[in-house]
Amino acid sequence: MKKHLYRIMLILVLLAGTGTLRSEEAKIEARLNPERITLGESAELQVSISGGGGEPKLPEVDGLRFIKVSQSQQMQMINFNVSVQNNIGYQVQASKPGEYQIPPIQLVLEGNKTLQTQPLKLSVLKSAAPPPDMGGGGEAQLPHNEQDQLIFVRLSKLPEKMYSGQVVPVTIRVCIRNGMNVQNLNPKINGEAFSIKPLEFHRSQEQIQNVPYEVFTASTTLAAVKQGTYPVSASAEMVVLMREKLSNDDFMGSIFQQLVPKQISRESAAQSVEVLPLPEQNKPASFAGAIGRFEMSVKATPDEVHVGDPLTLSMQISGIGNFDHVSAPVLAPDSAWKTYTAGGHFTPSDASGYDGKKIFDQPLIPQSTSIKSLPAVEFSYFDPVESKYVVLKPEPPVVRLLGAAGNSASGLAASAPGPAPVTPPVPNPPQGSILLPNQIEIGALSQNLRPVFRQPWFWTLQSIPLSLALAGFFLFWRYRLHVTNPIRKLRREQDRHWLELETTMDEARRNGDSAHLAQAGCRLLRERLARTLGTSPENISPDNLRAGSLPQVAGLTELLELGDAVSYSGRRLSSAEMDDFIQRIKTLSTGIQS
């Protein structure tokens, strides 16, 4: 019996769990890490599916390849709510640099319901080094020294000859087979004649020869500083935690193991580089140490300027090379232009800073209206491929120089010398002929130009509306106080009620209705006296008056007795008696009020 009960309970729990599972909202999420990689590296795409199953449908993106590298399932039960999450990992590789937009990843559920993720973005920067020999995809044969290696180090191909001061991009990659437990990884580039920028490593997962590796990649630049022939290599030192059996017995040894740290070192094949001095022949005067391949463009803002007003000459140097040594282009000396020190800023296009553009902003101030052109600009560099100096002399942009006001030479143009276009000067109209004519009526005259709101009397005058506004505010405040006072409010209501009673009396008199007349009259007397004495109208009775508990008012007792008699005994009053009654009521009321 108990066994049956346990089975039933187990089934119920499972059913509840299944129910919870089914009721859970299915969800799909995708994360890309990192979102910026260098060509040759890979990013990790993690797709998480919760509350549902199935294989997500990956979109096809030109230039991107998705390789499935892992799949796991995670089950959680919190307060008997069971949730299952499937995690699928992909390696994303790019075949060319650029900005990639990965469309939403779709998951088709039962009943043709489709879920999708948010679109993702991946930036692939140009690799600082040529990738072919880096074996990023894993299709190429491994070099001889890397075969059967669990860990190896690679250095990108360097040129055989370099010039002193020349910068070349270099990439170092440390590949560690998956499953290796590596700590304290310390990779470096060895080359005593070279200056190397600090290394910054990115971690990624890659398949090399269909074997998964964890790859640490750093792109940097190598600058030749010493002449001669020198070897260059990359190496990495690290601590590897190796499993060591505690027993010689195979079975026991497979159970009882310990991790032993071992210091190991790996080095790439050395490359020989010859560093040559820069040739002195044909070295231009404007050469300041730039080595590489560059282009230059110049623009000026604004394109229209007055003498004495500054303009900015923006000079852009773009290309590849040692941007650290790229200094501002040289301006031809011209006393008609006042110059200030140019400020420059560099924007890299790759991770190592080998490719990019540097913009120099040169402030210039025209000093004379006789200026005909902007000063000539010159930039020179050494091309290591062609082994020669190159001088760049771009055409200066066209800037229109406006002359001084009232000057007959106004509207001059500053333009490039030679073929550059010249803007025609602004014509000076014939004086006076096209002005609108004089006004005939002199119009309203005033004593001075100072506006009234700057005159003290105008502000003094504001005291009139201000006083009125204050008075209005005070009166409003007084009124509000009067309206909201509860005693005053009660008295106003009583006054209104008494007016109504007097009206009732008049109507009853007209109708000859003695009873209503007497009731209204007595009520009026009682309420007025009660307010004066600070008591309730019900306390005002002939008996109380006679007993002396209330102040004596002549004729009041008799009048109240008469009123009560008419109201309740059915006695009727004649016309004369009614008039007399009303007269006495009004007299007494006035007496009580005063």
Partner 1 sequence: MKKNILLSVCAFVFCCGTVSLRASTVDLQFDQYNRAYAEGRTAEALQGYQTLLNNHQISASLLFNLANASYRQGDVARAVLNYERARLLKPSDPDIRANLDLVRRSSGLTVAEDPFWKRALLFFSLDQWAWFGFSAFLLASLISCIRGVWQNFWPARPCPQQLFNFSMVAALLLILPAAAGLFVQSRDLDRAVVMHNEVMLKLSPFDKAEAVGELHAGETVRPLKEFDNYVLVENQSGRRGWVGKSQIETLLPQS
Please pick, from the candidates 431, 460, 484, 569, the single residue that binds partner 1 as defined by CB under 8 A.
431
Query: What is the nearest approach in angstroms of partner 1 to the Cβ of residue 309?
Result: 6
Q: Does 500 bind partner 1 (CB under 8 A)?
A: no
In the complex with partner 1, the residue whose CB is nearer, 5 or 464, is 464
Reported as type and span, the H/E element at residue 503 is helix 486-511
Instruction: Please tell me the count of residues contacting partner 1 according to CB under 8 A.
Output: 59
- C-alpha of 291 from chain center: 40
Q: Does 464 bind partner 1 (CB under 8 A)?
A: yes
Q: Does 313 bind partner 1 (CB under 8 A)?
A: no
CA distance 523 to 518: 8
Question: For the chain, first and last CA: distance in Å?
Answer: 102
Largest CA distance in the chain: 147
In the complex with partner 1, the residue whose CB is nearer, 445 or 547, is 445
Q: Does 78 bind partner 1 (CB under 8 A)?
A: no
Q: Does 487 bind partner 1 (CB under 8 A)?
A: no
CA distance 163 to 125: 27
Q: Per-residue string for binding with partner 1, 375-414, x by CB under 8 A?
A: ---------------------------xxxxxx--xx---
What pairs with residue 367 in β-bridges?
none
In the complex with partner 1, the residue whose CB is nearer, 412 or 545, is 412
HEC readout, 291-325: EEEEEEEEEEECCEEECCCCEEEEEEEEEEECHHH
Q: Does 439 bind partner 1 (CB under 8 A)?
A: yes
Cβ-contact 86, 51 below 8 angstroms:
no
Q: Does 443 bind partner 1 (CB under 8 A)?
A: yes
Instruction: Decide the pairing of beta strands 161-163 and 42-50.
Output: unpaired
Return the residues of window 252-311 that contact partner 1 according to CB under 8 A: 306-310
Q: Does 415 bind partner 1 (CB under 8 A)?
A: no
Alpha helices in 190-296 (DSSP H): 250-255
Residue 219, CA distances (Å) to 190, 207, 228, 358, 432 in order:
15, 20, 25, 20, 71
Residue 70, both tokens: 């892992």
In the complex with partner 1, the residue whose CB is nearer, 22 or 478, is 478
What pairs with residue 331 in β-bridges?
377
Reported as type and span, the H/E element at residue 339 is strand 337-339
The window from 91-99, 213-221, 288-296, 448-456 that contacts partner 1 (CB under 8 A) reads: 448-456
Query: What is the nearest approach in angstroms of partner 1 to the Cβ of residue 67?
Result: 58
In the complex with partner 1, the residue whose CB is nearer, 458 or 568, is 458
CA distance 438 to 434: 12
The window from 8-16, 26-34, 389-397, 444-452 that contacts partner 1 (CB under 8 A) reads: 444-452
Instruction: Decide the pairing of beta strands 399-402 and 388-392.
Output: unpaired
Q: Does 453 bind partner 1 (CB under 8 A)?
A: yes
In the complex with partner 1, the residue whose CB is nearer, 311 or 317, is 311
Residues contributing to the site for partner 1 (CB under 8 A): 306-310, 365, 367, 402-407, 410-411, 426, 428-429, 431-432, 434-454, 458, 461-462, 464-469, 471-476, 478-479, 482
